[in-house]
Every structure is written in structure tokens, then in C-alpha cells.
A = this chain, B = another copy of it.
Amino acid sequence: MTTQVSRPNRVAVLGLGAMGLPMATWLRGEFEVAGFDPMPERLELARAASIIPASTPAAAATDADVVVVAVRDRAQAEAALFGTEGAAGVMRAGAVVVLTSTIGPDAAIAIAQPLRDRGLLVVDAPISGGPVRAGNGDLLVVVGAGDDAMAVAKPVLDRLASSLILVGPRIGDGQLLKVINQLLAGVHIAAAAEAVALARGVGLDPATVINALTGGAAHSFMLADRGPRMVEVYERDPEVKSRVDIFVKDMGIVTDLARQAHVPTPLAAAAQQLYRQAEEAGLGARDDSSVVTMLSPRENG
């Protein structure tokens, strides 16, 4: 017997940050959306985007068919779901929690189990693409989920993703692919920083170098995307599109997973140190392109 799955009507988004707010706004085009964030100014922005503002996760999640968790890390996800006024306590059986944060497979599994014990469904669905693509339904979403959870969540995931990849049926499968994505992304940003720093060091114009190498054997998405911002860093602080401390967190997840899997990852480890060095230098909240200044300092500090 196949259970008839009805289309989600109400969606809650927990966390209205750089990714959560544009996702909630884009979902608003197709669903009724409630949003929670601890910062009043984010709730005001949500209200202005016709999102129902909620001052607790529970208030946002009440009557929701799908609860999208869009917070920064594991601790925030656990607080939003299981803390005081957490969402898990009010969700009805059969509703789905979609975990979009990059937290690693172990954390996703640890969070999913008590949700399932309450009769809730869970989709492990880390996202990639940045705020602009989050606001246009243009994200890469990599999913670990069973058929029952996917059946309920799919209209919401389809709205958010231009590329939706079902990695496997287990919670954590999406996280595994996202961790490998972050290994490459984090190493490629650091490599672009070395290229820009070396160009500066030998007296070549780094913008010319990036332009010459983009598209050839040295090409990466990050060289083309972050490279020009690394050049800009020497003139002004670039707009923060992705923070340094996100890669401090994510390269930690990468190297933890690699250690558990007995796989040496010397480049990911070197990149992790570079992001940590930048964070310790006070750049944690800056755009990640600013790591280039660890290798080639700004003259005015």
C-alpha cells in the first residue's frame, strides 16, 4: 500500500542568515513560509518579504509540513530542534525536517535519530551555492534520505535546487558528498590565494594572471570566482559572500572525516591551517578571499 502524500502547504525555515533568508524568500513564491531567527533585525527583513516571523523555533514549526533547518553548525541545529521552544516538540508525526547545514555525517545521524523516535521524517540535504543562488532556486542540493521522507520534502527541495542529487538512502550520505565538495572548494580557494600571492611576489599583475589562466589547465571555479576578489582585497574589503570561519568549520569536518576514514589529506590539512591562521588574525567574519593576505600582506595592515 502506498501512502498518498499531499503537497506541502506550510514550510518553516529555522535560521534566517545569509542562506536561510534568501531560501525562505524564494520558497515564499510557492508555499506559506514561517521563519525563525534569534536576531530581531532578521525577523524584520523576513516580515518585509511576506514571511511569517516567529520568535521561537516552535512557533515557526507549528503546523509546518516541512521544517528547513538553515543554521550554521551542529550546536545551532540541536538548539533549534531540541532546545527550549525547539521545533521537534511541536511538529506532527509525518512532517519532515530538512537539514541543509554542513555538519558532517556523524552529526546528521545524531540529530536524525531522536527526530525519528518522535515519528518525524528526516532529509539530509546540505546545500551549496551561496546567497545569490539561494535566492533564485539555483542551489546544488545533495541528499541522503529514504523514499518516505523524500516524497514529502521533494516539492520544497525542487523549489530550492537547480541541481538535486540523491546520493543515497541513509542520513549522512548527503553530508559525505558535501564534505568532499568542501574539501575541493577549500583547497581551491587556498590554491588561488597562493597563485595571487605568488603573482604579486614576482611582480606580475595578478588580475592579468587570473584572466590568462581561467579556462585552461589551471582553471577552477574558485580561481574565477574568488581570484578577482583576492585582487580587490588590496584596494578595499570585498563584500562578504562567504565567511572565513565557515571554512574553518568545514575544513575541520573534512579532516575529521578523513581521519576516521584513514585517508591522508595533506592539502586539505594545509588549507585548514590557512583558514585557522586567518581566523586567529581577526579575519573570521571577512570574505574568505581575504585569506590571500596571510600569504601576501596588505601594506596598510
Residues of A within 8 A of B (CB): 105, 128-130, 140, 142, 163, 165, 167-168, 173, 176-177, 179-185, 187-188, 190-192, 194-195, 197-202, 204, 208-209, 212-213, 216-223, 225, 254, 257-258, 261-271, 273-274, 294-296
CA distance in complex: A291, B258 (Å): 17
Q: Which 6 A-B pairs have the closest CB atoms?
A: A201-B261, A184-B218, A220-B220, A201-B263, A187-B191, A266-B270
- Selected contact of A221 from candidates B128, B176, B217, CB within 8 Å: B217
- Taking the nearest CB of chain B, how far is it from the CB of A247, in angstroms? 12
- Taking the nearest CB of chain B, how far is it from the CB of A228, in angstroms? 15
Chain B residues near A200: list those with CB within 8 A. 263
> Nearest B residue to A193 by beta-carbon distance?
B267
CA distance in complex: A240, B128 (Å): 34
Q: How many copies does the complex hold?
A: 2
Query: Known contacts A261-B201, A263-B295, A263-B296; is A183 also within 8 Å of B195 by CB?
Result: yes
Contact A191 B128 (CB under 8 A): no
> Nearest B residue to A140 by beta-carbon distance?
B216
Chain B residues near A258: list those with CB within 8 A. 194, 198, 201
